[in-house]
Amino acid sequence: MTKYNTLLYYCYSAIEDAEQYAADHLKFCKSLGLFGRIIVADEGLNGTISGTADACKTYMDAVHSDARFATTEFKIDEVDEPSFVKMHVRYKSEIVHSGLRDPKIINPMEKTGKHLEPKDFLAMKDRDDVVVLDVRSNYEHSLGKFKNAITLDIENFRDFPAKINELAQFKDKKILTYCTGGIKCEKASALLLHEGFTDVYQLHGGIIKYGKEAGGEDFEGKCYVFDNRLAVDVNSVNPVVISTCFNCGKQTDKMINCANPECNEHFTQCDECGTALDGCCSNDCKSHPRKREYDGTGYYVKIPQPVNEKKGAKV
């Protein structure tokens, strides 16, 4: 039986003519039979891809052979089937959108928080002089987060800078930031340092690596991921479910997207409400004329747009 892998990775490294690189990279990924989503920017790469174990190894070897990306760390999951159905490579202004592109404020290639390996994060996180900070969006931390972590009311990471003032009360503490794979923490920790926080750390490899190397201890709930799995288990030490059904309040850790494409809300929903509402967040969405067919997963492939390989567009 064919074994598949899903790779999560990022690398901050300057790319000259990144738009052309994106177009070439798309062709390379397609030649390997890979599926996934990669963002290319002048500042680096950010990707989640999936394919056979052999294809994924060939891809990792190719990335590592490029001196710009030689230190890229891949988080590898074994999966029963590819975690995507299409291959996208897009050129964008940032590999994670912060809205702050002034290198004098944020430049992860020059200055970020101190990287903590999972075992060190585990050892530090419960100290009295420490604050654990989740820098992810609402729908992510509502599904799962570290016990006692500070969470922020943000819809997207670009909302993070506006929340810095809310964290001023913790300036005398050690700030331990975390996110899914580490990429958001590179910019979040850099911004905190710029704003006068003096003792800032980040969980190296994020929640995913922490689950693999520290058993996910004290991570409550599941981790949201940006592929058709939607959520993955992290904690094999003391797991609990913290999320509840958006509709009835029953405890559930099933994350879906609303079947109404004009809503497409990320939310948790139990199977009973999923059946009753046909994968929608409300009766209004259930009756929407463009409602997609609900297959029980709550994951939907985006409608294809015209192809423009010169721009690294999706195929």
> pTM (2 decimals)?
0.90
Q: Which pLDDT belongs to residue 310?
A: 43
CA distance linking residue 277 with residue 188, whole number of Å: 38
Q: Coil, helix or strand for 287?
A: coil
Letter for the amino acid at 9?
Y
CATH of 4-95, one of 3.40.50.720, 3.90.105.10, 3.30.70.100, 3.90.1410.10: 3.30.70.100
CA distance linking residue 49 with residue 265, whole number of Å: 23
CA distance linking residue 136 with residue 133, whole number of Å: 9
CATH of 114-224, one of 3.30.43.10, 3.40.50.1970, 3.40.250.10, 3.30.930.10: 3.40.250.10
Q: Which pLDDT belongs to residue 103?
A: 74
Locus of tokens 């997609």: 292
Instruction: Report whether 174 contacts 199 (CB < 8 A).
Output: yes
Annotated catalytic residues are 179
Q: Which pLDDT belongs to residue 246?
A: 97
**Each residue's pLDDT tens digit in the chain (315 positions)?**
568 999 999 999 999 999 999 999 999 999 999 999 999 999 999 999 999 999 999 999 999 999 999 999 999 999 999 999 999 999 999 999 888 777 777 888 899 999 999 999 999 999 999 999 999 999 999 999 999 999 999 999 999 999 999 999 999 999 999 999 999 999 999 999 999 999 999 999 999 999 999 999 999 999 999 998 999 999 999 999 999 999 999 999 999 999 999 999 999 999 999 999 999 999 999 999 999 999 999 988 764 433 334 444 433
Contacts (Cβ under 8 Å, ≥6 apart) of 85: 35, 228, 301
**Beta bridge partners of residue 39, listed in sequence order:** 46, 90
Q: Which pLDDT belongs to residue 102?
A: 76
Q: Could you state, in order of their start, the residue ranges of all structural domains in the chain?
A: 4-95, 114-224
Q: Which pLDDT belongs to residue 195?
A: 94
* CA 303 to chain centroid: 21
Q: Which pLDDT belongs to residue 99?
A: 82
Best CA proximity match to 312, nearest among 49, 99, 111, 17 = 17
Instruction: Report whether 234 contacts 146 (CB < 8 A).
Output: no
Structure tokens at 145: 């987060």
Q: Which pLDDT belongs to residue 302?
A: 60
Q: How big is the chain, counted in residues? A: 315
Instruction: Report whether 175 contacts 202 (CB < 8 A).
Output: no
Structure tokens at 186: 């590179």
Q: Coil, helix or strand for 113?
A: coil
Best CA proximity match to 204, nearest among 128, 126, 113, 137 = 113
